[in-house]
A and B are shown apart, each in its own frame.
Chain A
Amino acid sequence: SENEPSWETPCSELLVYVSTPGCDGFPSLGSKENYKLSVSKGSMLLSAETIWGALRGLETFSQLVGRDENGTYYINVTEIVDFPRFPHRGLLLDTSRHYLPLRAILETLDVMAYNKFNVFHWHIVDDPSFPYESSTFPELSKKGAFNAMTHVYTASDVRTVIEHARLHGIRVIAEFDTPGHSLSWGPGAPGLLTPCYMGQTPSGAYGPINPIVNSTYKFVTSLFQEVSSVFPDFFLHLGGDEVDFTCWKSNPEIRDFMVKMGFGEDYKKLESFYIQRLLDIVSSLGKGYIVWQEVFDNNVKLRPDTIIHVWKDNHMEYLKEMANVTRTGYHALLSAPWYLNRISYGQDWIEAYKVEPLDFEGVSEQKALVMGGEACMWGEYVDVTNLTPRLWPRGGAVAERLWSNETVRDVEDAYTRLAEFRCTLLRRGIQAQPLYVGYCDHEFGGV
């Protein structure tokens, strides 16, 4: 009857119904994340096809619960039918430029789940350090980590990350970036990197992985055999970005090889030679791969289900690149406008929010090849002392752009919701920084 107070019967239970079993499995690119949430007087029901959808719905449900001035928790009558716009909504963390302790990674996974991110792109090794403890090649981290005792990820650590991610519906895609960005591999794998030359003599410096010796491919096969079994996701990220040809050019054996192969002076062909062999190795291990855009730009022969990761952002060129990649028939991931490590004064989340990943010339079948995108937090200036405030709530702008409908773009409305979400993060114990002036009911106490 109309005069009854609307909250007379306290609701104490959220019923969760998942139609397809699969709680023990891993989320994948194809996982369905749809869910339905019905909140009415006397009943609350969350239903989803898969457990992954249920997780998304549970997060939404938790955000709908409010608390009034008397301390009573309440929720409005609601009907929600929700599903993501893009299936690949990722966040990149870089644990080579600075080591990130396990707790920082696990906390980031928690907040990713609050934002419905579903891919953790773990850029685990690079030039400065090799923190990944390999069982096949223990020398890699022993000689290549910042500190082999304290700044490494043991097999157990890696398992912990993967399982913690899984429980939050997050895929872990490891990136072992080659042939460039690999200086830290050198100390633990003598003979792997190209010795650079000054004239006729080695200078003592090293460059990218040496593409002309068989030992390289033997090594790479063994390492990726291990990586393929350690990381359960179907995809591996193989890197392939920013290969500096200077060292290769300086090496006489490599110059001879170039002549022998008829590559002329085009070192992109040598890069392709390496990458193609790497891709074959990884395919034979039963994995799919993601590569940075240079691999596509340099005309490497790729498998049709390769995912190209678009990251270069000189004057909005990335939309052209997205068009080229998808027109050629490859899948694409967008990161270029979402380099969250590139901080600047003011509300830069707005620029990230306004990005429209499909704003390029192309037919709808082409646009369907865009799998989603990733916010990147490169580590040159980031470690555990500033990771969380730098990442959140700015990352939320990217998360919404990747999940929500294309039409959800009003900046003022987004500001209101993101500012409130930031207060929610504080309440959940996350050190998220402010968007602008103001305050939250639960302030952060300070370090």
Chain B
Amino acid sequence: RYCEYMFGRSWGRTWGRGPLAAREEPELFQLQVVIEAGDPGCERHPQLGSNEAYHLTVTEPVAVLKAPEVWGALRGLETFSQLVHEDDYGSFLINVSEINDFPRFAHRGVLLDTSRHYLPLKSILTNLDAMAFNKFNVLHWHIVDDQSFPYQSIYFPELSDKGAYSSNLVYTPTDVRLVIEYARLRGIRVIPEFDTPGHTQSWGKGQKNLLTPCYNGGQPTGSFGPVNPVWNTTYDFMTKFFKEISSVFPDEFIHLGGDEVDFSCWKSNPEVREFMKRQGFGVDYAKLESYYVQNIVDIVSSYNKGQMVWQEVFDHKAQLKPDTVVQVWMANNYAHELSSVTGAGLTAVLSSPWYLDYISYGQDWKKYYSVEPLKFPGSEKQKKLVIGGEACLWGEFVDATNLTPRLWPRASAVGERLWSSSNVTNLEDAYRRLRHQRCRML
């Protein structure tokens, strides 16, 4: 696919020139790709710990791209393709270069939301291409939420039967496998998020007795709140559900969500109130939330998966595994939150300043570019615990009609901030290069 990126449809044409043709200029005949590790990893999936470093030497007649693992080779190939340019006469040129490159942060993600609006496969795949062009390596798939449940579950087919917007707006197991493989070939991890206990209205359509019935004056109102944390059946369901998720999604991590849990429905429910008393939680519903989350954490851990959670889970003091990744998303004083999370010894991923769904007039890419993720009070050890960040494109106002122009090239600013060294900050220079990158993506 890189031949087409570099040479367009014309690459078949220029290839016909024989090596014996008399040429004045030095010519580059070949890019050799060498993967140094004994096991290059081509059959496996990329991971948080994957090595993405590469060494690129461009001289005539053969350029060499060396990388410890195949993931670095993919990054280097992208760089190489960006170095190739066309002159006014249609010749392809590349400057003699020597590049030693590696990412500053290991977790460089884009969040897509396929619940507020269904995103057709084509949209997701196009986006994976764009991510690869910008060296992003994580697709955080916020796949279900209140509004719709498009994930077609094998164990619980009713979830999407009743919860998807419509029967054709679903992701079948084949669709999901396609996304995971398409991502893998580009060195991109797919981290699914099944957000609970809040953000789960659509789950209740296909799974009765999962959500908490809300009460008013002693009577059920007919509406439902977050997942019910007091029923055993809830955990029976989650055990089976996450068993499926753990086997469908090969990444080491699953995102459990845990954000914006509205306690009012729990408070109204007499069974829940009774449970609070028995557990000695008083009126602190954050404790109930943590009780729930801890159970899910145990379930998911038993399947040998690590967990990612939104910051509230940490803020409400749930007991988490030491390798849990906390995603900091609240805009208010996020530097302070990064201090707290890393101060507690947990790893953090930053999203707060990078909510790309928050559109505004003008060149807002500049403010995304100017973020310095490690600008918070903390020790060197703490700063190492910030493993990266994610540009989030929530879907309330986004679907396939406007996703690509809304996300790109704004997300590229985030991509560079997460890959490049902290001293690459000049806005004018970035503008020049981003303009070219945009034309390249076109």
B116, A385: Cβ atoms closer than 8 Å = no
- Complex A-B, nearest 10 residue pairs according to Cβ-Cβ distance, in ascending order: A446-B123, A386-B405, A446-B400, A389-B402, A446-B122, A439-B165, A433-B402, A437-B116, A446-B120, A431-B401
**Which of A235-243, A310-318, A342-350 lies at the interface with chain B?**
A342-350
In whole angstroms, how far apart are the Cα atoms of A177 and B107 in the complex? 50
> A426 interface residue, CB < 8 Å from B?
yes
In whole angstroms, how far apart are the Cα atoms of A446 and B397 in the complex? 15
Partner pick for B398 among A386, A426, A434, CB 8 A cutoff: A434
Which bracket fits the contact residues of B? 20 to 34
B359, A445: Cβ atoms closer than 8 Å = no
> B332 interface residue, CB < 8 Å from A?
no
Q: Per-residue 0/1 for A434-447: is the Cβ within 8 Å of any B Cβ (1 yes, 0 no)?
A: 11111101011111
> A360 interface residue, CB < 8 Å from B?
no
> B360 interface residue, CB < 8 Å from A?
yes
> B362 interface residue, CB < 8 Å from A?
yes
Partner pick for A385 among B118, B358, B363, B405, CB 8 A cutoff: B405
Closest to A439 in B: B165
A447, B118: Cβ atoms closer than 8 Å = no
Given contacts A433-B399, A436-B396, A447-B404, contact A345 B357 (CB under 8 A): yes
* Chain B residues positioned under 8 Å from A385 (CB to CB): 404-405, 442
> B147 interface residue, CB < 8 Å from A?
yes
CB distance from B5 to the nearest CB of A (A): 17
Given contacts A385-B405, A443-B118, A446-B122, contact A343 B397 (CB under 8 A): no
In whole angstroms, how far apart are the Cα atoms of A439 and B149 in the complex? 13
Closest to B441 in A: A385
Closest to A385 in B: B405
Partner pick for A447 among B126, B165, B397, B398, CB 8 A cutoff: B126
B-contacting residues, A96-119, CB 8 Å: none
CB distance from A26 to the nearest CB of B (A): 33
* Chain A residues positioned under 8 Å from B401 (CB to CB): 388-389, 426, 431-434, 444
A-contacting residues, B117-176, CB 8 Å: 117-123, 126, 147-148, 165-166, 169
CB distance from B435 to the nearest CB of A (A): 13
B402, A386: Cβ atoms closer than 8 Å = yes
A443, B120: Cβ atoms closer than 8 Å = yes
Given contacts A344-B360, A386-B402, contact A436 B397 (CB under 8 A): yes
B118, A439: Cβ atoms closer than 8 Å = yes
In whole angstroms, how far apart are the Cα atoms of A438 and B404 in the complex? 19
Closest to A347 in B: B397
In whole angstroms, how far apart are the Cα atoms of A347 and B397 in the complex? 8
> A341 interface residue, CB < 8 Å from B?
yes
In whole angstroms, how far apart are the Cα atoms of A436 and B360 in the complex? 17
CB distance from A97 to the nearest CB of B (A): 13
Closest to B146 in A: A437
* Chain A residues positioned under 8 Å from B378 (CB to CB): none
Partner pick for A444 among B116, B397, B400, CB 8 A cutoff: B400
Given contacts A344-B360, A345-B358, contact A437 B118 (CB under 8 A): no
A344, B359: Cβ atoms closer than 8 Å = yes
Q: How many residues of A contact B (CB 8 A)?
A: 29
A444, B358: Cβ atoms closer than 8 Å = no
A437, B117: Cβ atoms closer than 8 Å = yes
Where the two chains meet, the residues of B that have a C-beta atom closer than 8 Å to any C-beta of A are 116-123, 126, 147-148, 165-166, 169, 357-363, 395-406, 442
Partner pick for B120 among A347, A431, A438, A445, CB 8 A cutoff: A445
Closest to A441 in B: B166
* Chain A residues positioned under 8 Å from B397 (CB to CB): 345-347, 433-436
> A137 interface residue, CB < 8 Å from B?
no
Interface residues of chain A: helix, strand, loop or mixed (majority): loop
B405, A381: Cβ atoms closer than 8 Å = no
A446, B169: Cβ atoms closer than 8 Å = no
A345, B119: Cβ atoms closer than 8 Å = no
Closest to A342 in B: B361
CB distance from A53 to the nearest CB of B (A): 32
* Chain A residues positioned under 8 Å from B400 (CB to CB): 443-447
A444, B399: Cβ atoms closer than 8 Å = yes
* Chain A residues positioned under 8 Å from B147 (CB to CB): 437-438
CB distance from A349 to the nearest CB of B (A): 11
In whole angstroms, how far apart are the Cα atoms of A433 and B400 in the complex? 8
A and B contact pairs by CB, cutoff 8 A, 15 listed: A342-B361, A345-B358, A381-B361, A426-B401, A431-B401, A431-B402, A432-B401, A433-B398, A437-B396, A438-B117, A439-B117, A445-B122, A445-B400, A446-B400, A446-B403
In whole angstroms, how far apart are the Cα atoms of A216 and B395 in the complex? 53
Closest to A388 in B: B401
Q: Which of A347, A433, A445 has the most CB of B within 10 A?
A: A433
In whole angstroms, how far apart are the Cα atoms of A343 and B147 in the complex? 25
B117, A343: Cβ atoms closer than 8 Å = no
In whole angstroms, how far apart are the Cα atoms of A436 and B361 in the complex? 19
In whole angstroms, how far apart are the Cα atoms of A76 and B117 in the complex? 31
CB distance from A379 to the nearest CB of B (A): 13
* Chain A residues positioned under 8 Å from B360 (CB to CB): 343-345
In whole angstroms, how far apart are the Cα atoms of A343 and B405 in the complex? 13
A341, B165: Cβ atoms closer than 8 Å = no
* Chain A residues positioned under 8 Å from B399 (CB to CB): 433-434, 443-444
B-contacting residues, A322-366, CB 8 Å: 341-347
In whole angstroms, how far apart are the Cα atoms of A389 and B442 in the complex? 17
Q: Per-residue 0/1 for A55-70: is the Cβ within 8 Å of any B Cβ (1 yes, 0 no)?
A: 0000000000000000
CB distance from A350 to the nearest CB of B (A): 13
In whole angstroms, how far apart are the Cα atoms of A388 and B400 in the complex? 13
* Chain B residues positioned under 8 Å from A343 (CB to CB): 359-361
* Chain A residues positioned under 8 Å from B118 (CB to CB): 439, 443
* Chain B residues positioned under 8 Å from A342 (CB to CB): 361
